[in-house]
Amino acid sequence: MKPWGKLLFWLITVVVLFVIVGPLVWIYLTAFKSANDIFTTDVRKLVFFKPTMENFHRLFSDYPFWNNFLNTVIVSAISTILVLLVSVPAAYSFARWNTGQGHLLFTTISTRMFPAVVAAIPFFMMYRKAGLLDTHLGLILLYTYFNTSFATFLLYGFFKDIPEELEYAAMVDGYSRVDIFRKVVLPLARPGIVVTTVFCLIWSWNEFLYAFLFTRSTARTVTVLISSFWGSIEVQYGPMAAGAAIVILPTLFVAWFMQRYIIRGLTFGAVKG
């Protein structure tokens, strides 16, 4: 690569990193700033300031942060588990036996082809009659509904790339269809399942619209709580940044520990022969 090419490459890399990492750095710096340092016009205090835990203290003492955080964990984890229990066998069925002749798979993914707000009113009316507003079960069912179609369509591609000859060979060895699925197919599809799990978990963790419309206090998630810091008169940047700094960590850790599977999953079936 020519010198100007390397220079252009590193310049683009720095710009991309700044765009991606810059907001995260700003959040964590703001979380440890006092109100005076947040609103100061002194450019030096953008980075050099006296750290304080005041924002975290306000977040924990003045707001039900941990309750809302626990709601987010419960809803995200349970809905993701339910999604996998449904989408893994469904995707395998579509990939191996073409269940529904392709029409059922298209109908499944079509539920994600319209904006989420389109379904808000019908779901709200049904939930109000069923008594599911402001409940954990209500959000879990919603997230399961919207993520199942996406997970099924994503896993369909992973299962489709697994050679059927491996299953035929296992049948010759006396394996049953259940054993083949459990001992042959699932281990090979593990990277794809991990990728799907991470995507569904992050979507449920960060979802705001339905959590905002369908919860009030009992099942309110942490994303709705953080949005409440943005008022019509005042924006509480300190507690908002402190809450965001904590909420971001679980997804970062999940992506970090699962990156080996994520990379394998995203390139699964890319090279054949």
According to the model, what pLDDT value does residue 261 have? Answer: 67
According to the model, what pLDDT value does residue 61 have? Answer: 93
Q: Where would I find the beta strands (DSSP E) of 81-153?
A: none
Q: Provide CB contacts within 8 A for 138, sequence distance 6+.
A: 127, 132, 214, 215, 219
165 close to 185: Cβ distance less than 8 angstroms: no
According to the model, what pLDDT value does residue 271 have? Answer: 42
According to the model, what pLDDT value does residue 220 have? Answer: 96
According to the model, what pLDDT value does residue 204 have? Answer: 95
Confidence of residue 270 (pLDDT cuts 50, 70, 90): very low
Q: How confident is the model over 233-268, as pLDDT tens digits? A: 788 999 999 999 999 999 888 878 777 666 665 555
According to the model, what pLDDT value does residue 91 have? Answer: 93
Q: How confident is the model over 100-134, as pLDDT tens digits? A: 787 788 888 887 788 888 889 999 999 999 999 99
Q: How confident is the model over 185-224, as pLDDT tens digits? A: 999 888 889 889 999 999 999 999 999 999 998 999 999 9
According to the model, what pLDDT value does residue 255 have? Answer: 78
Confidence of residue 1 (pLDDT cuts 50, 70, 90): low
pLDDT of residue 83 exceeding 60? yes
Instruction: Identify the bridge partners of residue 230 per DSSP, sorted by sequence position.
Output: 235
| Helices and strands (H and E) in the chain: how many | 14, 0
According to the model, what pLDDT value does residue 264 have? Answer: 62
How far apart are alpha carbons 78 and 83 in whole angstroms?
9
According to the model, what pLDDT value does residue 268 have? Answer: 57
Q: How confident is the model over 20-62, as pLDDT tens digits? A: 888 999 999 999 999 889 988 888 888 888 999 999 999 999 9
Q: Provide CB contacts within 8 A for 215, sequence distance 6+.
A: 71, 133, 134, 138, 139, 221, 224
According to the model, what pLDDT value does residue 262 have? Answer: 65
According to the model, what pLDDT value does residue 272 have? Answer: 45
